[in-house]
Copies of this chain bind each other. A is one copy, B any other.
Amino acid sequence: MLKANQDYLKLPGSYLFSTVARKQREFQEKNPDRSVIRLSIGDVTQPIAPVIIDALHRAVDEMASAESFHGYAPDLGYEFLRKAVSENDYKARGCDVEPDEVFISDGAKGDCGNIQEIFDKDCRVAVCDPVYPVYVDTNVMAGRTGTYDEKSGVWSDVIYMPCLKENNFAPQLPKEKPDLIYLCFPNNPTGATVTKQQLQEWVDYANRNKAIIIYDAAYEAYISEDDVPHSIYECEGARNCAIEIHSFSKNAGFTGLRLGYTVIPKELEADGVKLHGLWARRHGTKYNGAPYIIQRAGEAVYSPAGRKQLKAQVAYYMKNAAYIREGLAQAGYKVSGGVNAPYIWLETPDNMSSWDFFDLLLEKAGVVGTPGSGFGPSGEHYFRLTAFGSYENTVAAIKRIKEM
C-alpha cells in the first residue's frame, strides 16, 4: 500500500533553524521599523577570500571552452583536492590519511545526515546533549531512535551523553553501550573542546566496545589552544574506529559555495564489512560529485595566500567571540565557549526556558540567538550566540543586551 515514511512523521516540529528563521520573519513583519541582529545561525558574513575568488573565476573560464570544460566530476572528488586535503589537513599534522580515503562532498551537513545510512537500522546511537540537531533528526528519519517524549524532549532509543557545566560541557563515557557515537569538537553549540588525552579515551573506548565514532570536525579552524586535537586521527587507534567529517563553511566561508569531505580509513569495519566501499557505493549511486569550480575553490583554501587570508578571517570572528564572551560576562551572564570555537554558550537568567529567553531577547533587544533546548534536553535553560556576524553588529548586539 502507498504510505509515507512513518519515521518522518515522528519528527517533532520543524528543523530548529527553520523555526528560528520563521520567528524572526514574523517579528520583522510585525515590527518593520525595528532593527534585528542575527547571532543565531552559524552562517558566516565575511566575503570569500580574494585568492578563492580568483580560483573561482579561473575555473569558470575553463568551463567556457570545450578543451578545458569539465563535465561529471569523479564521484569521490577530484584528485587535486583529495591530495590537498590529505597533505594539509592530515599528513602535515602527522596523521596518516591517504587521498583515496577522502570523500569530497557538497558539505558537512549532508555527510553528517547521510553517514548513518551505511549502518544497520538496529545500531544504537549515542549523542552529546546538547548537540547539532542533524545527528538525531536523521536517525529519527531512519527509524533508529524509538519513541519521543514531548515533555522531556528525549528519544527512547538514543543514548544521551549530557554535557554539563560541572564537566566543562565535555561528555562522559556512556553507561549503555552504543554502536555509533557522534562527537563534535570544538562543539556546536557549547563551544567546548576536549584535550587530546580525553579524545584518546574515547578512541580507546570505541575500540574496546566495537563502536564507531562519527567525528564532526567542522570547527577545527577555530582551535586556539595547544592541547586540543585538530583531528581524531591524532589519536592512536582512531583509524580502526573513527570516521571524520569536515566542512569548508567555517574555516573558509563556504556556506553558500557548499564543500566538505568525509574520511573513512580503508581498514575501518562494521562487523567485518569495510565501510570505505559502502560509502563509495553511496556516493556513486546517490550523488554526482561537487561542482568542479567549487572544488578548485577548495584547493585554493590550501594555497599559501589562501591560508594567510583565511587565518585573518578566523581571527576576525574570534575577535567577535571574545567581545561577546566578555561583554556578556560583564553584564552578569554565565558564559562559556568562544575560545576554541565561534560559539558562546550562556545560561539563561533566572532559570528562564530557552525559548522564553529567545522571545525576550528578540522583543527587548532585537537580537536573534538560538535556544539551547533546540540542541537537546540538556540544552534547556541555555542559549547560543555565534561570532559569525560583522564586528559592528556584534558590538551593537552586545550593547543592546547590556541595556536590556
A286 pairs with B109, CB closer than 8 A: yes
Is A92 an interface position by the 8 A CB rule?
no
B2 pairs with A284, CB closer than 8 A: no
- Stretch from A195-203, A255-263, A328-336, A358-366 at the B interface: A255-263
A56 pairs with B293, CB closer than 8 A: yes
Q: How far is the CA of A3 from the CA of B396 in the complex (A)?
A: 51
Complex partner residue of A270 from B4, B44, B72, B291, CB under 8 angstroms: B4
Q: Which residues of B contact A301 (CB under 8 A)?
A: none
Q: How far is the CA of A60 from the CA of B270 in the complex (A)?
A: 42
Is A152 an interface position by the 8 A CB rule?
no
Is A167 an interface position by the 8 A CB rule?
no
Q: How far is the CA of A1 from the CA of B123 in the complex (A)?
A: 6
Q: Which residue of B lies closest to A179 (CB)?
A: B2
Complex partner residue of A4 from B15, B278, B287, CB under 8 angstroms: B278
Task: Indicate the size class of the contact surface on chain A.
Answer: 35 or more
B138 pairs with A256, CB closer than 8 A: no
Is A80 an interface position by the 8 A CB rule?
no
Is A113 an interface position by the 8 A CB rule?
yes
A71 CB to nearest B CB, Å = 4
A 237-264 contacts with B by CB, 8 A: 253, 255-258
Q: How far is the CA of A256 from the CA of B66 in the complex (A)?
A: 13
A 38-90 contacts with B by CB, 8 A: 41, 43-48, 50, 53, 56-57, 60-61, 63-66, 69-73, 75
A110 pairs with B286, CB closer than 8 A: yes
A 1-25 contacts with B by CB, 8 A: 1-6, 8-9, 11, 14-15, 18
A292 pairs with B256, CB closer than 8 A: yes
B3 pairs with A123, CB closer than 8 A: yes
How many chain copies does the complex carry? 2
Is A311 an interface position by the 8 A CB rule?
no
B286 pairs with A114, CB closer than 8 A: yes
Is A288 an interface position by the 8 A CB rule?
yes
Q: Which residues of B contact A57 (CB under 8 A)?
A: 57, 60
Q: Which residues of B contact A141 (CB under 8 A)?
A: 117, 282, 285-286
The interface centre, meaning the residue of A61, A72, A110 with most chain B CB atoms within 10 A of its CB, is A72
A110 pairs with B4, CB closer than 8 A: no
What 1/0 mask marks residues of chain A from 101 to 117 whose CB sits below 8 Å from any chain B CB?
A: 00000110110011001
Q: Which residues of B contact A221 (CB under 8 A)?
A: none
Q: Which residues of B contact A109 (CB under 8 A)?
A: 286-288
Q: Which residues of B contact A113 (CB under 8 A)?
A: 285-287
A-B contact pairs, 21 of them (CB 8 A): A1-B271, A2-B212, A3-B120, A3-B179, A5-B121, A6-B120, A8-B282, A14-B284, A43-B72, A44-B71, A45-B69, A47-B64, A56-B63, A66-B390, A71-B253, A71-B255, A73-B256, A107-B288, A117-B141, A134-B285, A255-B288
New contact pairs (19) apart from A1-B122, A2-B210, CB-CB < 8 Å: A1-B120, A1-B179, A1-B271, A2-B179, A2-B212, A3-B123, A4-B271, A8-B281, A9-B273, A45-B66, A46-B69, A48-B63, A50-B64, A63-B256, A71-B253, A141-B282, A256-B289, A256-B291, A258-B291
